[in-house]
Amino acid sequence: MASADTAPGIAARGTRAVSTYCLLAWTWIRAAAQYPVSITLLALGTALTAGLDVAGIMVLFSRTPRIAGFSAAEVLFLYGTSALAFSVSDILLGTTERLGEHVREGTLDALLVRPVSPLIQIATEDFTPRRFGRIVPPVLVLALAIPRLGVAWTPGRVAMVPLMLASGTVIFGGVWVLCAAVQFVLLNSHGATKALTYGGATLTQYPMTVFARDFVRGVTFVVPLAFVNWEPALYVLGRPDPLNLPGWTRFASPVVGAVVCAVAAVAWRGGLRHYRSTGN
């Protein structure tokens, strides 16, 4: 039998975690499916609300042909990659932001005594199909923007698009868990952490050249949101890096995603170890 610390043991634990997540999420989906009309309307409303960001971008381009030197198709490409990565991470881990509520109300204690990871339980809590509506606008935008980018589609550029979407999802997922772990210590930090989650999603929808250089350094080296889509997008679009970083940084998103997830895992485990029950 493989030890839990060996590669097969880690793989087995990962497989069990994924299957447990899927089982719990499917349970919530089946419950929501009892009201198909309601779920359909809610998903449509979610899609329309998410599409307001696109409307805002188009309003800007109705006044100017370029934003920070980027065309409408290029900005919509940035929006689509950022919004799709964020939406998928929100579906998978967005409800982890409720951790502070569980700590304050004492309901986290009940999650800890169950034979399932509390992270999985919180991540699948109230899992609802309506959140899939958030995926619709970025998918449609990417379908329209990509053919209009006017770049030479080499195999490297083609492969970079799904890679940046996957890496962006992983980075945002790590940020969700890291922000949740902060709530073990700062119970009322929910509003502040939204600056990294929802704020980060909005930030990465626009060219980084819109922002001050020091701010761009901060979201590159401190909170690496620039690796969600900006750095790989520079490669796809054939654009120079405003920070003059070496060319390999445009391919560093998978590594950055792994580092963010590792930091989030350490923070989560540290929060669990130091958690003290409310006594309820």
* Cβ(104)–Cβ(278) below 8 Å: yes
* Cβ(138)–Cβ(76) below 8 Å: no
pLDDT in tens, 163-220: 999 999 999 999 999 999 988 887 666 677 888 888 899 999 999 999 998 999 999 9
What is the distance, to the nearest Å, from the Cα of residue 136 to the centroid of all Cα atoms in its chain?
16
Which pLDDT value is given to residue 185?
82
* Cβ(257)–Cβ(171) below 8 Å: yes
What DSSP string runs through 90-149? HHHHGGGGGHHHHHHHTTHHHHHTSSS-HHHHHHTTT--GGGGGGGHHHHHHHHHHGGGS
**pLDDT tens by residue, the chain, 280 residues:** 444 567 666 777 778 888 999 998 888 888 888 888 888 888 888 888 888 889 989 998 988 889 988 999 999 999 999 999 999 999 999 899 888 888 888 888 888 888 889 999 999 988 888 888 899 999 999 999 999 998 999 999 999 999 999 999 999 999 999 999 988 887 666 677 888 888 899 999 999 999 998 999 999 999 999 999 999 999 999 999 988 899 999 999 999 999 999 999 999 999 888 887 765 5
What is the distance, to the nearest Å, from the Cα of residue 131 to the centroid of all Cα atoms in its chain?
13
Q: What single-letter amino acid sits at 195? A: A
pLDDT in tens, 123-147: 998 888 888 889 999 999 999 999 9
What is d(CA 88, CA 91) in angstroms, rounded to the nearest whole number?
5
Q: Is 67 helix (H, G, I), strand (E, B) or coil?
A: strand
User: Tokens representing 107?
Assistant: 């309901």
Q: Give me the phi and psi of 67, to 5 degrees please.
A: -120, 115
